[in-house]
Amino acid sequence: MTHDPEQPIPEENGPETNGPEKNGEDAEERMPFTSHLEELRDRLIKSFIAVGVGFLVAYGFKDRLFEILMRPLIQVMGQGDTLIFTGLPEAFFTYLKVAFLAGIMAASPVLIYQFWMFVAPGLYRKERRILLPIVFLSTFFFVGGALFGYFFVFPIGFKFFLGFANENIQALPSMKEYLSFASKLLIAFGLAFELPLVLTGMARMGIVTVDFLKKNRKYALLLFFVGSAIITPPDVVSQVMMALPLMVLYEISIIGAKIFQPKRSDDADEEDADAAEERAEATAGDAGSHDAADDDGDAPDSRRAATAGSSNPGRGETDG
pLDDT for res 21: 45
Helix (H, G, I), strand (E, B) or coil at 78: coil
pTM exceeds 0.75 = no
Distance set, CA 53 to CA 58, 64, 108, 118, 248 (Å): 9, 18, 12, 21, 39
Helices (H), the chain: 20-59, 62-76, 90-106, 108-119, 125-148, 154-162, 175-192, 195-204, 210-215, 217-231, 236-260, 266-311, 315-319
How sure is the predictor about 70, in pLDDT bands with cuts at 50, 70 and 90? Answer: very high
Whether the pLDDT of residue 318 is over 50: the answer is no
Q: Which of 39-48, 65-74, 149-158 has the lowest mean pLDDT?
A: 149-158
Whether the pLDDT of residue 28 is over 60: the answer is no
Name which residue leads in pLDDT, 269 or 137: 137
Written in H, E and C, the secondary structure of 141-197 is HHHHHHHHHHHHHHHHHHHHHHCCCCCCCCCCCEHHHHHHHHHHHHHHHHHHCCHHH
Contact 82, 74 (CB under 8 A): yes
Q: Residue 183's closest CA among 270, 69, 284, 295?
A: 69
The whole-number average pLDDT for the span 148-176 is 90
The whole-number average pLDDT for the span 179-194 is 90
In sequence order, what are the residues at sequence separation of 6 or more whose Cβ sits closer than 8 angstroms to the Cβ of residue 183? 97, 101
**Mean pLDDT over each residue of the chain, to the nearest integer:** 79
Contact 210, 261 (CB under 8 A): yes
In sequence order, what are the residues at sequence separation of 6 or more whose Cβ sits closer than 8 angstroms to the Cβ of residue 72? 150, 151, 154, 155, 158
Whether the pLDDT of residue 230 is over 90: the answer is no
In sequence order, what are the residues at sequence separation of 6 or more whose Cβ sits closer than 8 angstroms to the Cβ of residue 134? 197, 201
How remote is the C-alpha of 191 from its chain's centroid? Answer: 15
How sure is the predictor about 7, in pLDDT bands with cuts at 50, 70 and 90? Answer: low
Contact 257, 203 (CB under 8 A): yes
pLDDT for res 282: 63
Cβ of 94: how many Cβ atoms within 10 Å? Answer: 21
Contact 72, 154 (CB under 8 A): yes
Concatenated DSSP letters for 81-101?
A: ---B-SSTTHHHHHHHHHHHH
In sequence order, what are the residues at sequence separation of 6 or more whose Cβ sits closer than 8 angstroms to the Cβ of residue 93? 176
pLDDT for res 133: 83
pLDDT (tens digit per residue) in 89-114: 999 999 999 999 999 999 998 998 99
